[in-house]
Amino acid sequence: MKALVTGASSGIGKDIARELSKKGYDIIAVARDGNKLNELKEELETKVEVIAVDLSEVDACKLLYKTVKNKNIDILVNNAGFGDCGEFIRNRFRKRIKYDKHKYSSNAHFNKTIFARYGKKR
């Protein structure tokens, strides 16, 4: 059994990876920080494949898809992202653009391709 978890280097994604590993899933762990992903690899008892990519980059999403498309993934947890709070008008505009870019790249190029592939099989 295999699960791909994006945003596995911290927070919710890291905990989901831990829980899935406890249930026996090998993990494909994706985030930008390869060092943190390797720490997770050391911690978990099932196999962990580390893929350090920036999912806000369209080319990185395409490369990730190519890398994982034949790996027979059973569960996809596409959790990578970031939250924000505060007054949008004042000082959040740049961060908001980055957020939108991330969501667009990730959704348009990774979700679509990977869901299309595995959605057809089930």
Ligand X SMILES: NC(=O)c1ccc[n+]([C@@H]2O[C@H](COP(=O)([O-])OP(=O)(O)OC[C@H]3O[C@@H](n4cnc5c(N)ncnc54)[C@H](OP(=O)(O)O)[C@@H]3O)[C@@H](O)[C@H]2O)c1
The CA distance from 88 to 111, in Å, is 27
Per CB under 6 A, the list member of 9, 44, 51, 68 interacting with ligand X is: 9
Nearer to ligand X, 2 or 7 (CB): 7
For position 82 contacting ligand X by CB under 6 A, the verdict is yes
For position 11 contacting ligand X by CB under 6 A, the verdict is yes
Per CB under 6 A, the list member of 2, 3, 13, 16 interacting with ligand X is: 13
Bin 81: left if φ > 0, else alpha if -120 < ψ < 50, else beta: left
The CA distance from 90 to 18, in Å, is 38
The CA distance from 78 to 98, in Å, is 18
- Contacting residues toward ligand X, per CB under 6 A: 7-13, 31-33, 36, 54-56, 79-83, 102
